[in-house]
A and B are shown apart, each in its own frame.
Chain A
Amino acid sequence: MAAWTDISGIKERIAASSAEEVTASYLETIGKSRINGFTTVWDRALEVARGIDKDGSSGLLAGVPIAIKENISTAGLSTTCSSRILQGYVPPYDAHVIEKLKAAGAVILGKTNMDEFAMGTSTESSYYGPTLNPWDTGRVPGGSSGGSAAVVAAGEVPVSLGSDTGGSVRCPAAFCGVVGLKPTYGAVSRYGLISYANSLEQIGPMATTVTDIALLMDVIGGHDRRDSTSIKRENRYTDALKDDVKGLKIGVPEEYLGEGIDENVEKTVWDAIGKYEDMGASWKKVSLPHTKYALASYYIIAMSEASSNLARFDGTRYGLRVEGDNWHIMASKTRAQGFGEEVKRRILLGTYALSAGYHDKYYLKALKVRTLVKQDFDRALADVDVLMAPTMPTPAFKIGEKINDPLSLYLADVNTVPVNLAGVPSISVPCGFTGGLPVGLQIIGRHFDENTILRAAYSFEQNTGHHTKRPGEVA
């Protein structure tokens, strides 16, 4: 495994050599990768790095290599959502976050693997085959941003972008022992993010340190007039980087512990909360009473939106086309051969949930539950500053263990999806290990109060050593 280097370390290396050399060394590491985290390596990466050396870019991320999830549009660089149906699609435009990254001098190394159309928790449903967890290559890296987490954990890139619809940044961050943030809905523009479930998802940064997460947020966050759901609100995320949790009030949702949660995972999380107590914070149990309905509500909303979002993939304009005698047959064949099993399942379930006669029973009811879940968070977070819980109920599971049992896969999202329904921000940080596998601590905050959860995460990092452990270093 390659060494982990954070952004400040990268900048030192660039100062000592050049952006080109740093980029070249990462490309060399990627060339030897055994985890299938990258889907495409950008053939222009070195050229971009050379340009930065030449122009002496003063951007926040000048020369910093970064990897981008397969569902974020990059002009001239294949963006397929790890689906067969988008084979050959090269976007003619950059997503808002890509424009921001390029302006800040970041060097995009390539695109990373994911569950097809972000529909999964394991990155096994990718058209490109599964990504392996660097901590144990027999296990999944989590998903759906499994590639983005694994390449950071494997030292193939210092930072990456993922997207989080129901836990897709936080889950792989937890499974791969890295840091991942799901920003408040509306904090980061979704322009250019290929939609799975628009009302739930956000692009989020992944890195080895909280500092790097805040730095990335300073670059990609903020209003974009092309995304009507992005909010006009200024924030400096790096201002949050203070080692101080004295007086911080932590709520521990009782519904996020106990049944279904691996004992060792729970114990590791309690240890972390104990550490916070040592650091001057206080905690108490809180209740989010509608949690038990959140999963059902989430899947109905996500699948309903997906069934409509994915209607545009019909072989007419871009991507895969399977010819047929007329347009309808062509579109049907293209979709039949282009989409994988899980994607088809979700399109069908979403179509069903929105159909006349079932719309009120499923979709409308799910929206009502969503309101209740949101109220749960508002109520709890009126009383405490942050909520803490295990990100995932278990450590990374084995490849193939759950892929044929969709329900057990859906259940793994139980602690992450309520956050997306409510739209609040949440970060997963490494908080220890069980059986040699990383455990993630999830810290949830109020709407647009990323800075409080970043401060809590940063303080934890400053006072513990979990984030410094590399794959292979933990027995």
Chain B
Amino acid sequence: MVYDNPDGVRIGLEVHVQLNKLNTKLFCGCSTDYHDDEPNTHVCPVCLGLPGSLPVINEKAVDFAMKIGLALNCEIVGQTQFHRKNYYYPDLPKGFQTTQYDYPIASRGKVIIEGEDGERVIGVTRAHMEEDPGRLQHIGSIEKSKGTFINYNRSGMTLIEIVSDPDMRSPKEARRYLDKLRSILDYLDVFNGDLEGAMRVDANVSVFGGDRVEVKNISSFKGAERALLYEIMRQKNHIRRGGKIVLETRHFDEARGVTISMRTKEEEHDYRYFPEPDLVPMRVADRVPDILKTLPELPDAKRERFNSQYGIADMHARALTIQIKVADFYEEVALKADPKDAAVWVADILKGELNYRDLDVDAFRMEDIVEIISLVKQDRITEQSGVQIIRTILDEGGRPQDIVVSKGLLKVEDDIVAKAVEEAIAESPEAVTDYLAGKEKSLNFIVGKVMQKTKGRADAREAREKVLAGINK
């Protein structure tokens, strides 16, 4: 099946990733661990842009950026070059943003996603480094605000802006691309995606080969999908009514789920880019081999290895390798349990229960799932009981052994059944006689007694055979 993209949708994404796992900011020594602290406590002359202060490049930030570039299959630039992007805004303490312009640290890469009609390659135009501005906090709503606070704790944080080619054909593909990007970044251990503002998305979208519209201020992946769905609909409706789509920038109102025009092409800024004179170019090409050595196994490679090493279904391998934590978890489980069983239990069952509760795999002990798999494998509990144990652990806590006992989940053991059969036969001489006389149905009476005595935990078929054997003895 080939996806024919009926509306001619083209989507390109610009994703800002905050490298919050660096200890210090991009151009100064200020700590990046500000998320729980008072405003303007992680600042210095450099990130406040005080007169006379000068930037110094954080070499580890460059290494992280190269790592990301290489993981996205990009080419790495020979030497770093920073530019000034000039515009006025109160969150920008220098009146310009130090960013990369015609020499981004990485360019011409690709990301593979599960597209509308199978695997699809999304081109990565470029990935460049830049500094984050501060944050504005309005008193009251933005329209009626009596004043604005500026918090410069975020000012100077390292951002990597990853710009894709317009290769996505639906909001779903855009979402898949974002998920894949997040997955790769998680693998690289360069950022904590759970912190506020860690990943911010701007989307460029066009339909039927028309002009593109940029949608800004998208703060979540779900939001990106919604914004794109809305924007595509809006553009199609506009064209249907005889309108023309013009190059413009729109703002996504997350609460209302709509996009609102911010400015058209004519109102675009002229950023007057020029090379940052205070930073000298840094030769980085020589460092590529060393950085390559530090690259971990990435999702696609891991998925292939899981397929071949563990012989598990591709669907499972894919699900297990999206999050590095889940992949690591699975591999530990697979050491102690049958890898195929482990794949089913981790990918299908555990992940489902975790997702339902919005929990991370960290919320579950590896030993517990190993034990559950083993209990099922030994036929001591039913699969259904295994699921019940997982739910109980997640909702109430506890260990599998204890839950099995407290909830009475163990399959009934043979000797208990044997004893019940013996008793049932002894207590039912009439039924035995009737059965032996040819009344087959009277056997049911005896089996029913066995089930009664075992509180229904015995397997009825098994009980029947045992009763038969007992009578014929």
Q: A73-B52, A314-B95, A327-B148 are known contacts. Are A308 and B86 too (CB-CB below 8 A)? A: yes
Q: Is A54 an interface residue (CB 8 A)?
A: no
How many angstroms between the C-alpha atoms of A363 and B86 in the bound complex? Answer: 15
Q: A73-B51, A308-B96, A359-B272 are known contacts. Are A228 and B56 too (CB-CB below 8 A)? A: yes
| Contact partners of A113 in chain B: CB under 8 A | none
* 30 sampled A-B residue pairs with Cβ under 8 A: A71-B52, A73-B52, A79-B52, A81-B51, A86-B51, A89-B51, A91-B45, A91-B51, A190-B54, A194-B51, A195-B52, A195-B278, A198-B278, A199-B277, A225-B56, A227-B54, A227-B56, A228-B54, A228-B56, A305-B274, A308-B272, A308-B274, A311-B96, A312-B51, A314-B88, A314-B95, A316-B90, A317-B49, A318-B50, A359-B272
How many angstroms between the C-alpha atoms of A73 and B46 in the bound complex? Answer: 13
From A73, A228, A311, A328, give the contact of B95 (CB < 8 A): A311
Q: Are A93 and B278 in touch, CB under 8 angstroms?
A: no
Min CB–CB distance A453 → chain B (angstroms): 25
Q: Is A95 an interface residue (CB 8 A)?
A: yes
What are the 4 tightest A-B residue pairs by CB atom distance, in nearest-first order? A311-B95, A199-B277, A354-B272, A198-B277
From B50, B88, B273, B278, give the contact of A229 (CB < 8 A): B278
Min CB–CB distance B161 → chain A (angstroms): 21
Q: Are A194 and B274 in touch, CB under 8 angstroms?
A: no
How many angstroms between the C-alpha atoms of A308 and B54 in the bound complex? Answer: 14
How many angstroms between the C-alpha atoms of A226 and B57 in the bound complex? Answer: 10
B48-88 CB mask vs A (1 if < 8 Å, else 0) is 11111111110000000000000000000000000010101
Q: Are A93 and B93 in touch, CB under 8 angstroms?
A: no
Q: Is B198 an interface residue (CB 8 A)?
A: no
Min CB–CB distance B30 → chain A (angstroms): 13
| Contact partners of B150 in chain A: CB under 8 A | 316
Categorize the interface residue count of chain A.
35 or more
Q: Are B57 and A91 in touch, CB under 8 angstroms?
A: no
Other A-B contacts than A228-B56, A312-B49, 9 sampled, CB-CB below 8 A, are A192-B52, A194-B51, A197-B277, A198-B277, A198-B278, A226-B54, A229-B280, A316-B150, A351-B272
Question: A180-207: which residues lie under 8 A (CB-CB) from chain B?
Answer: 190-195, 197-199
Min CB–CB distance A87 → chain B (angstroms): 13
From B53, B88, B148, B277, give the contact of A331 (CB < 8 A): B88
From B52, B86, B94, B272, give the contact of A193 (CB < 8 A): B52
| Contact partners of B245 in chain A: CB under 8 A | none
Name the CB-closest residue of A to B45: A93
Q: A92-B45, A311-B95 are known contacts. Are A191 and B52 too (CB-CB below 8 A)? A: yes
Q: Are B277 and A305 in touch, CB under 8 angstroms?
A: yes
| Contact partners of A475 in chain B: CB under 8 A | none
| A positions within 8 Å CB-CB of B | 71-73, 79, 81, 86, 89, 91-93, 95, 190-195, 197-199, 225-229, 304-305, 307-308, 310-314, 316-318, 327-328, 331, 351, 354-356, 359, 363
How many angstroms between the C-alpha atoms of A436 and B195 in the bound complex? Answer: 70
Chain A: interface secondary structure?
loop
How many angstroms between the C-alpha atoms of A91 and B280 in the bound complex? Answer: 26
Q: A91-B50, A311-B96, A314-B88 are known contacts. Are A363 and B274 too (CB-CB below 8 A)? A: yes
Q: Are B90 and A327 in touch, CB under 8 angstroms?
A: yes
Q: Are B51 and A95 in touch, CB under 8 angstroms?
A: no
Q: Is B279 an interface residue (CB 8 A)?
A: yes
Min CB–CB distance B208 → chain A (angstroms): 29
Name the CB-closest residue of A to B152: A317
How many angstroms between the C-alpha atoms of A194 and B150 in the bound complex? Answer: 23
Question: B87-136: which residues lie under 8 A (CB-CB) from chain A?
Answer: 88, 90, 93-96
From B48, B50, B57, B90, give the contact of A228 (CB < 8 A): B57
Name the CB-closest residue of B to A190: B54
How many angstroms between the C-alpha atoms of A311 and B88 in the bound complex? Answer: 7
Min CB–CB distance A332 → chain B (angstroms): 9
Q: A195-B52, A355-B272 are known contacts. Are A228 and B93 too (CB-CB below 8 A)? A: no
Categorize the interface residue count of chain B.
20 to 34
Name the CB-closest residue of A to B44: A93
How many angstroms between the C-alpha atoms of A111 and B457 in the bound complex? Answer: 93
Q: Are B48 and A317 in touch, CB under 8 angstroms?
A: yes
Q: Are A354 and B274 in touch, CB under 8 angstroms?
A: yes
| Contact partners of A199 in chain B: CB under 8 A | 277
Q: A92-B45, A327-B148, A354-B274 are known contacts. Are A308 and B84 too (CB-CB below 8 A)? A: yes
Min CB–CB distance A343 → chain B (angstroms): 14
| Contact partners of A73 in chain B: CB under 8 A | 50-52
| Contact partners of A91 in chain B: CB under 8 A | 45, 50-52
How many angstroms between the C-alpha atoms of A199 and B275 in the bound complex? Answer: 10
From B51, B57, B270, B277, give the contact of A356 (CB < 8 A): B270
From B56, B86, B96, B274, give the contact of A226 (CB < 8 A): B56
Min CB–CB distance B60 → chain A (angstroms): 15
How many angstroms between the C-alpha atoms of A197 and B278 in the bound complex? Answer: 10
How many angstroms between the C-alpha atoms of A312 and B280 in the bound complex? Answer: 22
How many angstroms between the C-alpha atoms of A351 and B96 in the bound complex? Answer: 13
How many angstroms between the C-alpha atoms of A195 and B272 in the bound complex? Answer: 18
Min CB–CB distance A263 → chain B (angstroms): 39
Name the CB-closest residue of A to B150: A316
Min CB–CB distance B90 → chain A (angstroms): 5
From B55, B56, B95, B148, give the contact of A308 (CB < 8 A): B95
Q: Are B54 and A355 in touch, CB under 8 angstroms?
A: no
| Contact partners of A191 in chain B: CB under 8 A | 52-54
| Contact partners of B57 in chain A: CB under 8 A | 228
Min CB–CB distance B279 → chain A (angstroms): 5
| Contact partners of A305 in chain B: CB under 8 A | 274, 277
Name the CB-closest residue of B to A89: B51
How many angstroms between the C-alpha atoms of A251 and B272 in the bound complex? Answer: 40
Q: A198-B278, A311-B95, A314-B95 are known contacts. Are A79 and B51 too (CB-CB below 8 A)? A: yes
- Residue from B54, B55, B57, B278 with most neighbouring chain A CB atoms (10 Å): B54
| Contact partners of B93 in chain A: CB under 8 A | 312, 316-317
| Contact partners of A316 in chain B: CB under 8 A | 90, 93, 150
Q: Are B90 and A92 in touch, CB under 8 angstroms?
A: no
How many angstroms between the C-alpha atoms of A311 and B280 in the bound complex? Answer: 22
How many angstroms between the C-alpha atoms of A72 and B277 in the bound complex? Answer: 19
How many angstroms between the C-alpha atoms of A79 and B278 in the bound complex? Answer: 21
Q: A308-B95, A327-B90, A331-B88 are known contacts. Are A92 and B50 too (CB-CB below 8 A)? A: yes
| Contact partners of A79 in chain B: CB under 8 A | 51-52
| Contact partners of A95 in chain B: CB under 8 A | 52
| Contact partners of B95 in chain A: CB under 8 A | 308, 310-314
| Contact partners of A89 in chain B: CB under 8 A | 51
B34-52 CB mask vs A (1 if < 8 Å, else 0) is 0000000000010011111
B7-44 CB mask vs A (1 if < 8 Å, else 0) is 00000000000000000000000000000000000000
How many angstroms between the C-alpha atoms of A317 and B149 in the bound complex? Answer: 11
How many angstroms between the C-alpha atoms of A409 and B51 in the bound complex? Answer: 27
Q: Are A312 and B94 in touch, CB under 8 angstroms?
A: yes
Name the CB-closest residue of B to A227: B54
| Contact partners of A195 in chain B: CB under 8 A | 51-52, 278
